[in-house]
Every structure is written in C-alpha cells, then in structure tokens.
Structure 1
Amino acid sequence: MIKRFMEDLRSHPLILSVDQRFLAGIPFLYVQSIQTWQEISRLITQTADRLVMDTSLHYELIYVRTFKHNHVYRFRFLYPLAKSFCCGKQCGEDCVLRNPPQV
C-alpha cells in the first residue's frame, strides 16, 4: 500500500520529490514542493483517501514542520485491530468462526 501511495505522490506535478524516512521507528514523509503545506496536506489526503477506499484501512497524517520548500509529515497506514482469521484455539468472544465480522 505504501509503495503505491509513494508512486502516486511522486507522479503528481505539484510535488518535486517525496521520500519516506523512519526516525525512532516512526514513519515520516519529506515532501519537496513550492506549494504551501496546506495544499500538500490536501493532496496527500486525497491520494490516501483514494487508496483506502473500499478497504478496512485507515491512515494518520500529522503535519510536523516546513523548512524552505520541504514539508515534513508523520504519515502511516493503520490496519484494523480486529481479528481477521481463525487461530484455531477456540478463543471464545472474539472467535472469527463463531462470530463472523460484520461488513
């Protein structure tokens, strides 16, 4: 998912470059653009919305800072915490076999 997200951002004409870096285990997006951080935030949101549509994924986008034309965001895709498979241990309340997930 993140690979497709990065490809979509890199192909956008308003973005000069985009890079993902991990600092202390936290993913950050470094976006170089002459646009304002608000416009880039809107573009990132539109791109992520399009990718997570019709899936159970969500995302988190937090603006961090801007230096010259480099915008930094904390960005990550969030996967659902509910069990999505059967472990075979007859868990009880959250057993996927006994209680199939509601769609």
Structure 2
Amino acid sequence: MDIDLIWEGFINNLSNTNGIKSVHWKRVAGIPFLYVTADTVEKDELHIKIKMCAGQAMRGKRLHSETISVRTNGLNYVFRHRFYVPQEKMFCCGNLCPDCIRFE
C-alpha cells in the first residue's frame, strides 16, 4: 500500500468538493499538514468534508485518519492530518498472548 497514492486521491476528492478553492499538503518535520482555502465553508463543515473525503480515499484499506485544526486565518485553514495503520495485532504469533487475534 503506497500512502502517496492515498494522499493523492484524498487531495483530488477534497479539491473537487463544493466550497473549497484550493488544497495542498506538505510535510514539516515529518508531520503532514493540510492547507485549505475555502470559499464560504465554516470550520465545522470543513472538518466534516475532510473526514468524508478521507473515508473515500481509505475505502477498502486498513487505515484510519486523524485531523486536528492548527490555525485559521480568515478563510485559510491549516490542519494536521495523517493516515495511519491501527495499532492492533493482525495475526497470531504463536506465543499464546492474552490479546491474541484468535480469541476475538
């Protein structure tokens, strides 16, 4: 699974959403930031649109997303947005662990 392809699909979906002028992302110190310029969309509605577009990009994959608002300047928004793999066991290692996937 290539995370860059997921980011590309996510950015394409989000940029084609009504009420959003421009979207781009970049990594700063290893942390991905999402820069959004909106037409008339408010912060809460924008957060919902980001969540929906992230869901479309992650469909069929074992991923989660997290979006945290960093700052706002008029209709320019900055979010810390990341896609991550859940921290849970996905296979049995054979060591009889108490949280083994076989016991679910």
TM-score by length of 1: 0.74
Q: 2-side partners of 1:39 and 1:100: how far apart?
A: 38
The alpha carbon displacement at 1:20 in A equals 0.2
Q: How does 1:1-103 map to 2 (within 5 A)?
A: 1-34=6-39, 35-81=41-87
From the superposition, tell whether residues 84 and 3 of structure 1 become closer, same or farther in structure 2 (CA, over 3 Å): farther
Question: Structure 2: where are the runs of 5+ without partners?
Answer: 1-5
Q: 2-side partners of 1:50 and 1:80: how far apart?
A: 17
Question: Structure 1: where are the runs of 5+ without partners?
Answer: none
What SS does the aligned partner of 1:54 have? coil
Tell me the matched-pair count: 96
The structure richer in helix per residue is 2
What percentage of aligned pairs have identical amino acids? 33
Larger Cα-atom Rg:
1
TM-score by length of 2: 0.74
